[in-house]
Each structure stands twice: as structure tokens, then as C-alpha cells.
């Protein structure tokens, strides 16, 4: 089956199907006294299961997460639940809807609270209702975990689910939804898990335990693979190191940094010889947590990342939450068009400037001792940047003179909204650097959802309109002496590297396993020739024509040996 290559590496393992939480009516009697009895048994069963899970989490050192489950068990202890639901059942209701109706006002009350901590608890209430509903219908809570290392097969996986995958039991994943630039795929690359996404008809075609060959390099999933294919499997992409600078044949240095989601990535980036961290996605740093870390905790996290990189620079991106990157610790109300809604910097300016201030103070404190830079995501207008700069001034004022108040921390922006690209000339006068977020820039330029595989081919990063926009941004930045990196997935695309070099980028920020490969490809290039090829590419009709041009000029990546 063909899909989109989302994270490199090849693995062979049995399938493990991720079962979605759908409960169909089981037909059991949920009315009258029988329904009340069944409800009592269900509540008892859920409480026992919660206690077991909480104990397991506690034993693994996840005390905060265990606390959530203990709180859920306490909700089930509340006599108001059984009394309220029994009353509704006696009036002719069914046990499952009676539980939901009894608990709904509590969830609503929590959701209406201005405090995000309480809002998050609404989900826990609904989760408890769902668990009781499953128990009433005799459906198990979660699919049993795989018994041996397996390939996860799912319709889709949320980033938090991907982050929560047990690395010892999950060796790769295949999904029906998603594209290579969706966050789940990006996280898979960060975790070093081979992944193929956007495979049409996947879930219906694969059975639990069926042998699979997942080829994350070519975007292939082979069911029941023949022995000769299995023999050729290379395993997860190896990490080769190259700490030497990458300079073109005619002497232009192009920095090769890494994208990182956590401390482990930073360590792998340092080991791979990256010239810095071009993008530290702070929202991933905070995934899997119940609450956002406070300023001191953030300082501790950042100090570790900066220390892992030695004197190489680290670009901390402030929280980019929303759209396809929800953060459980920061729940937000649903929106009709989340990708066009309150995400990234907008969320912090419109709703939570306190969070931006926390991050800024932490960054200033760490910046006083290490090489840290700050970057704002999803900037659309110069006014947003000015607002953020005022907050940075405020953050500095709030610090002790000895701890960060006097720090100059370079401030940059992601250029990933077309409005920012078109306004790059003015924005370059407000900030110290740019980093091109080509994943979102391409999505917004073509109005093609980055999570939707059906429109993935439309959002081609090699299309001349994307290249033209990049050219304008780089020229505007350089006119004002500003540095420009590329931290979208395009920086890791060997087809795109000669064009990006030719258009003048100062840095390519890639995944740790790719540092050596991208540095090697830069060293083979001649800057002058890349510039002339890029100029021609800007005039062509489509991405295919650009690829043909690269082939004609001998700048296409070598085909993979089969
Ligand atoms: C991008 O949009 O290209 C980018 C690097 O940011 P993210 O993928 O985290 O949205
Ligand atoms: Mg982005």
C-alpha cells in the first residue's frame, strides 16, 4: 500500500491495530432495577481499573498523571452520581444516558470556568462517563497493548498519542490520515520512529498481528512481505555524525541546525554535529503534562537543552498551540476553522499573555548564561510583533538585575503566514532574524490543509510560487542584514536544498539523523550555479518542471538503490 513517507527508516514487525473508542449499543438491559444493578457493577469495575492504572503510573514515577486517575475514581465515589442516575433510570431512562445526563452539568460548569486548569478537568469528567458507558456495554477500555514490538496501524494519531507511544513496543506506525508535514509525522521523525501516513483504505486492509514491512523512506507498507524484501530491510535510520561546517564548493557557509522537540533530540542533535538548534518546539517540550511548567521549571528544562548544545545557539520557539497541535495542558474551545483561528502567537496575545511572559522570563534567565534566541510562531502582522516586544520589555523589567534583566536576547519570527512573507521588508526592521516555516507557509499559500492527504500534492514546496515567496523573504531580510533559516520540512528535502541554497538561506534546520546527509549535499553544490538554477526555477509552471530542471542540471538527489 502506498502512502506518504513521513519518517525515515524501514522495519518489519506484526501489525497492532489502534482501536478507536466507539461503543455500539450492546443490547444489554439497562432499564429499571436491572439497569441500576448493572450501573453499580460498572462503577465498581471502573474504579478498580482506575486504581490499577494509577498504581502502575505511580510506580513509573508519573505521580501527576496517577493523580488524575485517582481524581476520576473519587468522582465515581460521589453518592450524587449513583443517586442522580438511579433517579433517572427509575423515571424510564437507560443507565448509560442517565450517567451522562447526571455528569453533564459538572462538565459544563468546569468548561465554563475561566481557569484553564478547571477547563481541563471537564475532559476528565467526560472520560469517566465514557469509561462507565464502556463497562455497561461490556467493552474493554483500551486495546490490549501489543505483546511484542509492533507497527501501530491507525486511522489517525493525535500528537499526544504519538508522544505517548511505548518505544519498546512500538517500532513504527502507519496511518490512514495525515501528511508528511502534520505534527504527528514530525514527532515520529523526532522520536526516530519510521512512519508512513495518508494510506488510503489502510485500516480495513490490515489485521491484528499480520506481518508488515513499513518503509518510511519510500512511503510503502507491504502486508505479508516476501522473504527477499524482508532481507533487504535496513532498520531505523542510523545516526551518522558530521560536526564540520558545510561550505559550498565556492566557499559559502550554510549552517545546518536541527529541529528538536525535547532534551533527547537536543542530545542527538549535538551528537550528530548540528551547528545549533534551529527550532526548539516548546509545545512538544510540554506535551504529556497535566499542567504547563512554571518559570523555574522552564528554566531548568532550557538549561539542560542549552548545556547539551555547548556553545552552539538554540532557538526557542514560544508556544505554538492550536489547530493540529492541541496541548492537553492548555485546552481551548473548539473553532470552526482551527488552522485559521487562535493558534501560535495569537493565542498568547489574545488569551494568555501570562504564558508568553513566563516563557520570556525563563528565556532571558537562561540567555544570561547560554546562547539562546527567542522566536515567535504564526506572526501575521507587525503590530503583533510590537505587542510581543512590549511583553519582552515587561518580562525583562520583572527580573532581578542579576538574573536576565540586562540580557540581550535576539528575537526572531517564524515566517509561515503569507501576510508575514509579503510584509517581510517591514518585519525585518522589527526583529533580529527570520525562520521560514515552510510547512505552514505552503499550507496557507495554497489553502491546502496540511493534515489532509487528498490535497497533499497541491501543497508542493517545490512549486515556483513557494520559491518566489521564499526569494522575496530572503531578499528583504538580507537587505536589512538579517539572518534567515528554514525550519520547515523543506529544509530536509534533498530536492529543495540546491534551491534554498541558491535563494540564499543562511541555515537549514533538519532532523538529527539527516544532519550529515544535508551537510554532504551542501558541500557538493556550487553557490553560483544554485543561484542561477533557482532564478530559472522561479519562472517555471509547477513543481514537476522544477524537478526536471534539477535533473537536467545534475542537481537531483541520487535515486535510491532498489
Ligand atoms: C512550519 O510551519 O514549517 C514549522 C516549522 O512549524 P510547525 O511545523 O511546528 O508548525
Ligand atoms: Mg508552523
Catalytic-residue membership of 487: yes
Atom of ligand 1 nearest to the CA of 488: 3
Query: How far is 217 from 189, CA to CA, in rounded Å?
Result: 11
Q: What is the DSSP string of 279-307?
A: EEEHHHHTTT-SS---HHHHHHHHHHHHH
Tell me which DSSP letter residue 404 carries: I
Contacts of residue 115, Cβ cutoff 8 Å, sequence gap at least 6: none
Q: In which band, very low, low, confident or very high, does the pLDDT at 412 lie, cut at 50, 70 and 90?
A: very high
Report pLDDT for 65: 56
Q: Is the pLDDT of residue 249 over 50?
A: yes
464: confidence class by pLDDT, cuts 50, 70, 90: very high
Strands 195-197 and 4-7: what pairing? antiparallel
Q: Cα separation of 195 and 165, whole Å?
A: 13
The structural domains of the chain, ordered by start, are: 4-21+142-232 (3.50.30.10), 32-137 (1.10.274.10), 255-461+479-493+504-510 (3.20.20.60)
Q: Which ligand is nearest to the CA of 485?
A: 1
3-state DSSP helix/strand/coil percent for the chain, to nearest 5? Answer: 50, 15, 40
Per-residue pLDDT tens digits for 212-221: 999 998 899 9
Residue list, ligand 1 pocket, CB within 6 Å: 186, 279, 281, 320, 416, 437-440, 487-488
Lowest mean pLDDT among 57-71, 104-118, 205-219, 425-439: 57-71
Distance CA(308)–CA(552), nearest Å, equals 42
CA of 261 to the centre of ligand 2 (A): 13
Q: What is the CA radius of gyration of the chain?
A: 25
What's the CA-to-centroid distance between 279 and ligand 1, angstroms? 9
Query: ∠153-149-171 over CA atoms, to 5°?
Result: 60
Helix (H) or strand (E) holding 135: helix 116-136
* H-only helix segments in 309-381: 345-350, 353-367
Q: What is the pLDDT of residues 262-287, one digit of tens each?
A: 888 899 999 999 999 999 999 888 87
Q: What is the 377 CA–ligand 2 centroid distance (Å)?
A: 7
Q: Which atom of ligand 1 lies closest to the CA of 438? A: 3
The pLDDT confidence band at residue 60, using thresholds 50, 70 and 90, is: very low
Show the CA angle centred on residue 274, arms to residues 272 and 275, nearest 5°: 155
In whole angstroms, what is the distance from residue 43 CA to residue 134 CA?
11
Instruction: Report, as an integer, the average pLDDT of 24-40.
Output: 86
Asked if residue 495 lies in contact with residue 552, where contact means CB atoms within 8 angstroms, the answer is no
Instruction: Give the span between the Cα atoms of 197 and 147, in whole angstroms.
Output: 24
Closest ligand 1 atom, residue 439 Cα: 3
- Burial status of residue 188 (CB atoms within 10 A of its CB: 0-12, 13-18, 19 or more): buried
Residue 234, pLDDT above cutoff 90? no
Whose atoms come closest to the Cα of 279: which ligand? 1
Q: Which ligand is nearest to the CA of 181?
A: 1
Q: How far apart are CA 74 and CA 214, in angstroms?
A: 43
Is it the case that residue 258 has pLDDT exceeding 80? yes
Contact residues for 555 (Cβ-Cβ < 8 A; gap 6+):
498, 525, 529, 530, 533
Rounded to an integer, the average pLDDT of 37-58 is 78
| Res 532 pLDDT > 90 | yes
Which residue has the CA at smallest separation from atom 10 of ligand 1? 440
Long-range contacts, 244-249 (Cβ 8 Å, 24+): 244/273, 244/519, 245/275, 246/518, 246/519, 246/520, 246/522, 246/523, 247/522, 247/523, 248/501, 248/522, 248/523, 248/525, 248/526, 248/527, 248/530, 249/523, 249/524, 249/525, 249/526, 249/527
Indicate the pTM of the whole model.
0.72
Nearest protein Cα to ligand 1, atom 3: 437
Looking at per-residue pLDDT, the higher value among 306 and 9 belongs to 306
Contact 181, 204 (CB under 8 A): no
Q: Is 530 a catalytic residue?
A: no
Residue 224, exposed/middle/buried by CB under 10 A (0-12, 13-18, 19+)? exposed
| Closest residue CA from atom 1 of ligand 1 | 437
Mean pLDDT value of segment 82-99: 92
Ligand 1 pocket: which of 178, 184, 186 to mutate (most atoms <8 Å of CB)? 186
- Confidence category of residue 136, pLDDT binned at 50, 70, 90: confident
Distance between CA atoms of 244 and 517, rounded to whole angstroms? 12
Place 239 in a pLDDT band, splitting at 50, 70 and 90.
Answer: confident
Q: Which of 137, 487, 511, 530 is catalytic?
A: 487
pLDDT of residue 542: 97
Which atom of ligand 1 is found nearest the CA of 259? 5
Q: pLDDT at position 70, please?
A: 79
Nearest-atom number in ligand 1 for the CA of 440 is 2
Among 287, 316, 377, name the best residue to mutate to test ligand 1's pocket (greatest count of ligand atoms within 8 A of Cβ): 377
Mean pLDDT, rounded, for 171-175: 92
* Distance between Cα 436 and ligand 1 center (Å): 9
Amino acid at each position: 500500500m502506498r502512502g506518504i513517507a513521513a519518517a525515515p527508516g524501514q522495519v518489519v514487525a506484526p501489525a497492532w491495530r489502534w482501536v478507536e473508542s466507539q461503543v455500539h449499543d450492546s443490547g444489554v438491559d439497562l432499564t429499571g432495577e436491572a439497569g441500576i444493578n448493572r450501573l453499580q457493577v460498572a462503577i465498581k469495575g471502573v474504579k478498580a481499573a482506575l486504581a490499577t492504572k494509577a498504581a502502575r503510573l505511580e510506580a513509573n514515577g508519573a505521580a501527576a498523571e496517577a493523580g488524575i486517575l485517582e481524581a476520576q475514581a473519587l468522582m465515581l465515589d460521589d453518592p450524587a452520581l449513583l443517586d442522580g442516575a438511579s433517579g433517572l433510570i427509575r423515571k424510564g431512562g437507560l443507565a448509560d444516558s442517565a450517567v451522562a445526563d447526571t455528569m453533564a452539568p459538572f462538565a459544563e460548569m468546569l468548561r465554563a470556568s475561566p481557569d484553564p486548569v478547571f477547563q481541563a478537568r471537564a475532559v476528565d469528567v467526560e472520560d469517566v462517563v465514557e469509561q462507565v458507558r464502556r463497562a455497561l456495554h461490556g467493552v474493554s477500555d483500551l486495546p490490549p497493548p501489543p505483546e511484542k514490538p509492533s507497527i501501530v496501524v491507525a486511522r489517525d494519531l493525535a500528537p499526544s498519542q504519538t508522544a505517548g507511544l511505548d518505544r519498546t513496543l512500538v517500532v513504527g506506525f502507519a496511518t490512514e490520515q495525515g501528511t508528511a508535514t502534520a505534527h504527528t509525522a514530525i514527532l515520529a521523525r523526532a522520536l526516530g520512529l519510521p512512519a508512513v501516513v495518508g494510506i488510503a483504505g489502510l485500516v480495513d486492509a490490515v489485521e491484528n498481528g499480520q506481518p508488515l514491512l513499513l518503509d518510511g523512506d519510500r512511503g510503502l507498507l507491504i502486508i505479508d512481505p516476501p522473504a527477499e524484501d524482508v532481507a533487504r530491510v535496513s532498520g531505523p535510520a542510523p545516526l551518522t555524525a558530521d560536526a564540520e561546517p558545510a561550505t559550498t564548493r565556492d566557499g559559502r557557509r550554510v549552517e545546518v541546525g536541527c529541529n528538536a522537540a525535547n532534551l533527547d533530540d537536543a542530545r542527538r542533535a549535538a551528537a550528530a554535529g548540528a551547528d545549533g538548534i534551529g527550532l526548539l518546539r516548546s509545545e512538544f517540550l510540554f506535551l504529556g503534562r497535566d499542567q504547563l511548567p512554571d518559570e523555574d521549571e522552564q528554566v531548568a528544562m532550557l538549561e539542560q537543552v542549552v548545556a547539551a548544545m555547548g556553545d552552539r545557539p538554540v532557538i526557542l520557539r514560544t508556544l505554538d498551540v492550536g489547530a493540529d497541535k492541541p496541548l492537553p495542558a492548555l485546552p481551548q474551545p473548539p473553532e470552526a476553522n482551527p488552522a485559521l483561528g487562535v493558534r501560535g502567537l495569537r493565542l498568547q496575545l489574545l488569551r494568555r499573555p501570562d504564558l508568553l511572559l513566563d516563557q520570556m522570563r525563563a528565556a532571558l534567565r537562561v540567555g544570561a548564561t547560554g546562547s539562546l534566541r527567542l522566536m515567535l510562531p504564526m506572526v501575521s502582522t507587525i503590530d503583533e510583533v510590537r505587542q510581543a516586544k512590549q511583553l519582552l520589555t515587561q518580562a525583562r523589567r520583572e527580573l532581578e538585575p542579576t538574573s536576565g534583566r540586562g540580557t540581550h536576547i535576539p528575537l526572531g519570527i517564524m515566517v509561515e503566514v503569507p501576510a508575514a512573507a509579503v510584509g517581510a521588508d517591514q518585519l525585518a526592521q522589527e526583529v533580529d532574524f527570520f525562520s521560514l516555516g515552510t510547512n505552514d507557509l505552503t499550507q496557507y499559500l495554497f489553502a491546502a490543509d496540511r493534515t489532509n492527504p487528498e490535497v497533499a500534492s497541491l501543497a508542493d514546496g517545490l512549486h515556483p510560487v513557494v520559491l518566489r515567496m521564499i526569494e522575496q523573504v530572503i531578499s528583504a531580510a538580507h537587505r536589512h542584514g538579517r539572518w534567515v533559516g528554514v525550519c520547515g520540512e523543506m529544509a530536509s528535502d534533498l530536492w529543495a536544498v540546491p534551491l534554498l541554497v541558491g535563494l540564499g538561506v543562511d541555515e537549514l534546520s533538519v532532523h538529527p539523523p539527516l544532519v550529515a546527509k544535508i551537510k554532504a549535499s551542501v558541500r557538493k553544490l556550487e553557490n553560483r550555479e544554485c543561484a542561477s538554477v533557482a532564478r530559472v526555477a522561479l519562472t517555471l509552471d509547477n513543481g514537476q518542471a522544477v524537478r526536471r530542471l534539477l535533473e537536467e542540471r545534475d542537481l537531483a538527489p541520487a535515486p535510491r538503490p532498489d
